[in-house]
Structure 1
Amino acid sequence: MMLRNAIQLQTARRTVATSQQPDPAGSIADIIDDLDSAFLTLPKREAAARLTKVYFQFANSSQPVLFEPTFHSHLDSLYSLPMTIDLGRSHDTKDIQLTVFVVLEVFAVALLVLQKQDPSKMSTSLPDRYHRVALMALDHTGLPPGIQGVQFLLLESQYCYHHSETLTVWSTVGAALRLAVEIGLHKDPIEEMSATDLDVRRRVFWTAYAMDRNISIARNLPTCLADGAISVEFPSVLSDNVIAKQKPGESAQQNIDGADSNTSKAKLVCLHVLRWRRLQSEMQTVLHQQAPLGYAPIDIERWQHDAQHRIMEWYKDLPRTSTFDPNERRIIENFDLTYHRAMLYLYQPSPNWLNPTEAAWLKILDAAENMVRLYRKFFEEKRFTIYWQAVEGLSAAGTALLNAYSRSSSVKERITLSVLRELVQTCSNVLWGMVSLFPSFKARRESFDEYVAAKLQELEATPSKDSDIPPGISFEHHHVNAVDPFTTGLLPPDDHVDSGAMPVQPDDNVMHDWTDFEQAAFDWDALDNTVDFIPDTWN
């Protein structure tokens, strides 16, 4: 859901539709006032603690929107209120309404993360409901000014970012970044302030920046701020509790040396993500934008060589200390996918790099092959929490393989047509598996399959000397034994998967409460053993 009038950074009410018919233009109806939120209940404190842990380990760690001690103050404040009141409407004080928004939106994001663990245990209708009630509370107060306003926009963006169907996040993130610039968060302040306030400024800006870059590049949309305008330093790697105890002007870096117990491993990884976002932004600028007037064009091949060196240095600098436990080492393994995605993005054809060299096509081949392998592995291990991003990345890898084979003689010497077919079949099968969990990706999968079928038909019409596939064989989903989705568990053996039927939409008139969540049999023990987990939000 979008906040009202994001351009003006306010949450004014939408115009309520007077007709019972859906808007033919596809705009979002004003559903907030139609929700029956009476007797909306909070979860028990134990469940609330678990949801809070999910949020800070799986969402806020890679997108540090909130300062954890501050959120716990909001949580304690809300739980000190009577539990019989209507959270969506009855509170008439601004502070309480803002607290309701923060707490319910955090719970909603956490529920979405859990929903990705096993969609069969819970649909998106429950987190959707609490997201909407959270917006109702914010609607009563309007967007607060200053940093808190940026945080609230980013918190809503996190919800859309993790949702399998809500991809309208770009405008909200853009509004957050523009507001951040308006209040000067893109530069460090001149005046001295507390360590907490300074770190919140930095983390809020860099979260807005990182989300803007990732979404804009994934959706091929403009970014909201030039990199040259940014001078603010990265946020601290100290844990929030340590930062809260720092004195104004005390250097966080000085406290890191020899004090590993004070350093948050999640923040070390998060800073590595921010370094990647800056590299990603540079590649987007050089490869996809025109040079400013008065400036000579960049020597792309020379720049690529330098950029590849910096990407490799970034990859080598990953935190791989011997103190990491198996779960933490598994997190670092996720960066393998980021590295290969970076190499693909660096060398694949783009507006400023239309004709890659033979050496570049081989690098594209290597990157795409590794991406397919890792996407399959991570999907089978249920590592993904941002499925729309995984769908885009996997489709890009499969498309790159076909283009590399069709345009490069060196690639044809490296792999056979049968190997190519198996690789793109693996892409398609994993996409089918994703669609079985989240049917909203069905159109994207079908467009990929149509492209693959047409491209393979073109290639098979003129078989090369090393091809063992006769011409004229069409691409069909289950004919290649690369990954059989029915034997590997990627898909259930149900005919309805191929039927094209849309998923049943949740009924917003059906009351939900937190007992729906509490009855879901999540593997909390497994969660408790997962320390400082960072999901796939950087790929």
Structure 2
Amino acid sequence: MAAHRTSSSDAYEPISAEWREIIHPRDRKHWLVEGVGLESKNALTRDRVIIAQRRMKGLWKDYFVTMVHAVALLLTPRVSESDIATSQSLYNTAMKYLAYVFAQPDPILHAQAYLLLTLHALHSPSSQMIVTMVSATMRYCVMAQLHLAESEPKVLNPVFSLEVQTRRRVFWSAYALDRLISWIYHIPNNIIDEHISVELFSNVGDSDLHRDGSDDCRIRIETPSQKTHVSPALHLFRCRRIQSRIISTMMRSDFEEINASTTWREHMLGELDAWRSQLRLLSDVASKSYTSDRWVGMAYNYTILLLHQPTKENVCSGFGDRSVPACVQIAITFRTFQKDRQTAQLWPGLLSQVAVGITLLYCFWATPPQRQTPAYKTREVPEALRACSTALAILAERWIQAEPLRDVFDTLAREVPVYGMVVDGSPPRRISAESAFYIQSQMPLLASIIMHRGVLRMIREIITEDFPRDFPEPHDQTLSADLGGHLCSEECPFFQRTGHAGSVSTNVQGFDSLGGGIGGAFGVDDETLMFPLLFGSAEF
């Protein structure tokens, strides 16, 4: 027995810190004891060690289960303080298992872990954290080569391959989040569209995906326009790609030269109107999902604002006429979603409402009263401002960090005269010194939270400059049907003049109910009609 005790040194190795948390305390002593009868004492311990080893190999699953619950608690519109505390506790627990995820060899698991961290970050009141997490997620996808078609597994039928379609869904979900944050903060995309070669994933339901990508289920999906449970998100993703091209163009160093011509903006309007008309295939009047008229209208009007950022120079040249109705519809619709409890409380959603409210006020500040067109003179303008103020107040109850945004907006709303609000005497030359001083004192904080240079510029102009009164005659902004000189990427159908150049619509006074059939640029059965799944309209 003595010889056996000395030769069994491996039975006496100290237990690691990780295993101490798993093995029952009454069995830990067997790892340190050196005495007679160790064989019988260690019999139960060996069984427990085997169980512990198996348990440690599966700890990566605990991360995903715990994080999904942590995020799910925040997705409900009725999130309470108790839900927030529970979510944070679950998040802290999940972090203990994150190392086990990265110990797995599968890069898809790593990317999915990043995606969950990003979704949780979207509900935190930290712009820096959100931007950092989204950037890290997209960069990891690039390092794992998920954006490259040549890196995909070679299977018989990739359209129905679970492995291929999972890879594509992971990448395009990261892409959608990246474009969302690029739009909210008006910062460059982490990867440009021209560097992406992987295909969009297919309009195929989960039940039709097979590990071997066999052909036996091909017959289930007959046409590209057939509805599946992923179809609604596919079309919203197309809007995200339109936004991506707009952002990429605006971030170019030669954008001033591009912007001197109206061609590129007209083309994007044509793309946007074609996308909106094609939603008729999936729109459900009775639905409250992402294909309802209201949700589609939100996405449409947000893109109109992205495309027409007003300045003192262009506000009287059609930019104000397009921005004001879009802001009004967004503010009223967002408030309706809040009342119906249809929207989650996300930090980017708060920032988007701040941008909408500031843009609406700026248009009235920058446009002399005699230049204000009928688009400015609707009774919905005061209603939209009240809706925006209420929405910000509700979100400020969720995050104390949002209170300065709420207060600055309310201060500007009192100072800038808008249609329907009584102004005693002649219009003021500039906002009051007290209000200007207060907002100026908040600018460092606003710059760290909002980050959007365009929104910050509008605030600075309002608090430091006189109301514009004597404008030069506006430039001719008549839309042209000539798209031959637009500067989109080669993947754009208009680049090779395959699009329907004459179909560009000038009716962008705000989104109305969907009507009519499919636009001329794409046919009903055209495969370009379907676009891949994303996490949904997180910004709403």
User: Corresponding residue for 1:99?
Assistant: 61
1:335 and 2:296 correspond: yes
Distance in 2, matches of 1:222 and 1:412, equals 34
Distance in 2, matches of 1:250 and 1:301, equals 50
Cα pair 1:375 1:390 within 8 Å, conserved? no
**CA deviations over 1:479-512 (Å, ceiling 9, x no partner):** xxxxxxxxxxxxxxxxxxxxxxxxxxxxxxxxxx
Residues 206 and 536 (structure 1), Cα distance of their counterparts in 2 relative to 1, 3 Å cut: closer
Residues 467 and 441 (structure 1), Cα distance of their counterparts in 2 relative to 1, 3 Å cut: closer
**CA deviations over 1:169-219 (Å, ceiling 9, x no partner):** 322222221222222211223652361111011111111111111113212
SS in 2 for 1:385: coil
Aligned match for 1:271, one of 234, 240, 254: 234
User: Corresponding residue for 1:202?
Assistant: 168
1:307 and 2:268 correspond: yes
Aligned match for 1:156, one of 117, 121, 124: 117
1:537 and 2:533 correspond: no
Distance in 2, matches of 1:446 and 1:288, equals 31
User: Corresponding residue for 2:443?
Assistant: none
Distance in 2, matches of 1:407 and 1:419, equals 19
**CA deviations over 1:123-150 (Å, ceiling 9, x no partner):** 3110111111111111356454422211
Distance in 1, matches of 2:202 and 2:191, equals 23
Distance in 2, matches of 1:181 and 1:535, equals 22
The code of the aligned residue for 1:215 comes to: I
**CA deviations over 1:397-438 (Å, ceiling 9, x no partner):** 221222212223443554459975553233212211222344
Q: CA deviation at 1:100?
A: 0.6
Residues 419 and 258 (structure 1), Cα distance of their counterparts in 2 relative to 1, 3 Å cut: closer
Q: CA deviation at 1:332?
A: 5.2
Residues 427 and 327 (structure 1), Cα distance of their counterparts in 2 relative to 1, 3 Å cut: closer
Distance in 2, matches of 1:215 and 1:128, equals 23
Distance in 1, matches of 2:211 and 2:188, equals 40
Q: CA deviation at 1:246?
A: 6.4
Residues 269 and 415 (structure 1), Cα distance of their counterparts in 2 relative to 1, 3 Å cut: same
Aligned match for 1:380, one of 331, 339, 347: 339
Aligned match for 1:244, one of 204, 210, 225: 210
Cα pair 1:176 1:208 within 8 Å, conserved? yes
TM-score, normalised relative to structure 2: 0.62
Structure 1 unaligned segments of length 5 or more: list them.
Answer: 1-32, 40-84, 477-531
The code of the aligned residue for 1:469 comes to: V
**CA deviations over 1:212-240 (Å, ceiling 9, x no partner):** 11113212333211111012111122111
1:389 and 2:367 correspond: no
Cα pair 1:331 1:533 within 8 Å, conserved? no
Aligned match for 1:219, one of 172, 185, 206: 185
The code of the aligned residue for 2:61 comes to: T
User: Corresponding residue for 1:188?
Assistant: 149
1:284 and 2:247 correspond: yes
Distance in 1, matches of 2:224 and 2:183, equals 37
Q: CA deviation at 1:268?
A: 0.9
Choose 158-167 or 144-153, whichever is displaced more. 158-167
TM-score, normalised relative to structure 1: 0.62
**CA deviations over 1:329-357 (Å, ceiling 9, x no partner):** 8745312111111111111237xx96345
SS in 1 for 2:97: helix
Cα pair 1:318 1:332 within 8 Å, conserved? no
Q: CA RMSD in A?
A: 3.9
**CA deviations over 1:294-341 (Å, ceiling 9, x no partner):** x97465411111111111111111254487863448745312111111
User: Corresponding residue for 2:137?
Assistant: 176
User: Corresponding residue for 1:468?
Assistant: 422
Residues 302 and 425 (structure 1), Cα distance of their counterparts in 2 relative to 1, 3 Å cut: same
User: Corresponding residue for 2:70?
Assistant: 108
User: Corresponding residue for 1:431?
Assistant: 392
Q: CA deviation at 1:364?
A: 0.9
The code of the aligned residue for 1:256 comes to: I
**CA deviations over 1:344-393 (Å, ceiling 9, x no partner):** 1111237xx96345322101111111112111111111111143232222
Distance in 2, matches of 1:335 and 1:259, equals 20
User: Which one has the largest radius of gyration?
Assistant: 2
SS in 1 for 2:96: helix
The code of the aligned residue for 1:394 comes to: Q
Distance in 2, matches of 1:450 and 1:130, equals 39
User: Corresponding residue for 1:123?
Assistant: 83
